[in-house]
């Protein structure tokens, strides 16, 4: 059995796991990130977490083959640094991989959190057995990851899979640094809540699921929101499919809790927007893993070292 370490580094919490090649977790340490104290402090915390894992199952730390880190935002996978770090101030171009590699004398890899989640689903979850898998997370934001024969496609600048910036609505809402009408600004969980509160009322909507529920109960305004969002998702998925023609999509994120309300319709509209010869051949699958983030980070060294 081969063993790896996966680190899920977020703006709020950081988790470190000892994982085997089948995705089984044997030891875990979790703590607040305390990002306001800077990258050196956070990296030192990660080092302590790695040191405190229980390695008895694998016969000692020396048996660990590599370390993977999942982080929010685009990543330069060649140089092992974050390109953007809005949730982790000070981490832009910070040599976190080099520092951890120097400390433990192990190969260290880093990638976007959506990418590592997609890698886990492709290797161990719903996408297992498919030669190419496109993972989409529909959550607070929208992210993507393309996995080919068990390896992530990061692109020339680490931005492959940043599908939240694909335009799905002309002259649409502009969210942050994204394009006006980008999918994340129009059809993420955050966007659905924003639209719901504006149209249905502040007291009617606490999360995206409320909009789908109200639509299912017959609220015409909620139905209009859902109609627009599903159409925008279909446009996004079609743009991706017409570019890379994946064997399947795997869909994750908090919005997927409401999938019984929209998945069938999304599948129909998606197939209407792609070529005839593609229709019916690209399933939209629901994620199968409960913890694909940290486990996916551990799969980074496995996929790169094999």
- Three-state SS string across the chain, please? CCEEEEEEECCCEEEEEEEECCCCEEEEEEEECCHHHCHHHHHHHHHHHHHHCCCHHHCCHHHEEEEEEEECCCEECCCCEECCCCCCCCCECCCHHHHHHHHHCCCEEEEEHHHHHHHHHHHCCCCCCCCEEEEEEECCCEEEEEEECCEECCCCCCCCCCHHHCECCCCCCCCCCCCCCEHHHHHCHHHHHHHHHHHHCHHHCCCHHHHHHHHHCCCHHHHHHHHHHHHHHHHHHHHHHHHHCCCEEEEECHHHHHHHHHHHHHHHHHHHCCCHHHCCCCCEEECCCCCHHHHHHHHHHHHHHC
Q: Which domains does the chain have, with CATH numbers?
A: 3-118+291-305 (3.30.420.40), 130-286 (3.30.420.40)
- pLDDT score recorded for residue 11: 87
Which pLDDT band holds residue 167 (cuts at 50, 70, 90)?
A: very high
Residue 291 scores a pLDDT above 80: no
What average pLDDT does the segment 85-107 reach? 94
pTM: 0.90
- pLDDT score recorded for residue 292: 78
Quick check: 170 and 155 in contact, CB under 8 A? no
Query: Which tokens in the block code for residue 131?
Result: 């030669």
What average pLDDT does the segment 270-277 reach? 98
Percent of the chain residues topping a pLDDT of 70: 100
Which pLDDT band holds residue 155 (cuts at 50, 70, 90)?
A: confident
- pLDDT score recorded for residue 55: 96
Residue 16 scores a pLDDT above 90: yes
> Average per-residue pLDDT in the chain?
94
Which pLDDT band holds residue 182 (cuts at 50, 70, 90)?
A: very high
Residue 32 scores a pLDDT above 80: yes
What average pLDDT does the segment 180-190 reach? 96
Residue of 117, 131, 114 lying closest to 281 (CA atoms): 131
- pLDDT score recorded for residue 220: 98
What average pLDDT does the segment 212-241 reach? 98
- pLDDT score recorded for residue 72: 86
Which residues are registered as beta bridge partners of 146? Answer: 134
- pLDDT score recorded for residue 62: 94
Q: Regarding predicted confidence, which is higher, 292 or 65?
A: 65
Q: What is the pLDDT of residues 235-256, one digit of tens each?
A: 999 999 999 999 999 999 999 9
């Amino acid at each position: 059995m081969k063993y790896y370490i996966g680190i899920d580094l977020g703006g709020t919490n950081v988790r470190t796991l000892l994982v085997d090649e089948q995705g089984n977790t044997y030891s875990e340490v979790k703590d607040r990130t305390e990002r306001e104290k800077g990258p050196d402090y956070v990296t030192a915390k990660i080092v302590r977490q790695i040191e405190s894992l229980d390695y008895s199952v694998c016969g000692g730390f020396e048996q660990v083959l590599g370390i993977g880190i999942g982080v929010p935002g685009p990543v330069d996978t060649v140089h092992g640094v974050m390109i953007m770090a809005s949730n982790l101030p000070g981490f832009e171009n910070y040599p976190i991989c080099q520092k951890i590699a120097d400390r433990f004398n192990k190969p260290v890899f880093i990638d976007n959190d959506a990418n590592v989640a997609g890698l886990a689903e492709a290797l161990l979850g719903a996408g297992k057995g498919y030669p190419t898998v496109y993972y989409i997370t529909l959550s607070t934001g929208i992210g993507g990851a393309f996995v080919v024969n068990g390896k992530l496609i990061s692109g020339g600048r680490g931005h492959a899979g940043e599908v939240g910036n694909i335009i799905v609505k002309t002259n649409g809402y502009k969210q942050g640094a994204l394009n006006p009408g980008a999918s994340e600004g129009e059809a993420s969980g955050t966007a659905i809540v924003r639209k719901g509160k504006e149209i249905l009322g502040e007291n009617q909507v606490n999360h995206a699921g409320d909009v789908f529920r109200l639509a299912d109960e017959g609220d015409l305004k909620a139905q209009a929101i859902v109609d627009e969002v599903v159409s925008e998702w279909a446009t996004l998925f079609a743009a991706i499919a017409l570019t890379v023609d994946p064997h399947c999509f795997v869909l994750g994120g908090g919005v997927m809790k409401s999938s019984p309300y929209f998945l069938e319709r999304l599948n129909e509209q998606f197939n209407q927007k792609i070529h005839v010869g593609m229709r019916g051949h690209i399933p939209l699958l629901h994620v199968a893993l409960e913890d694909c983030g940290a486990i996916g980070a551990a799969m980074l060294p496995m996929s790169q070292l094999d």
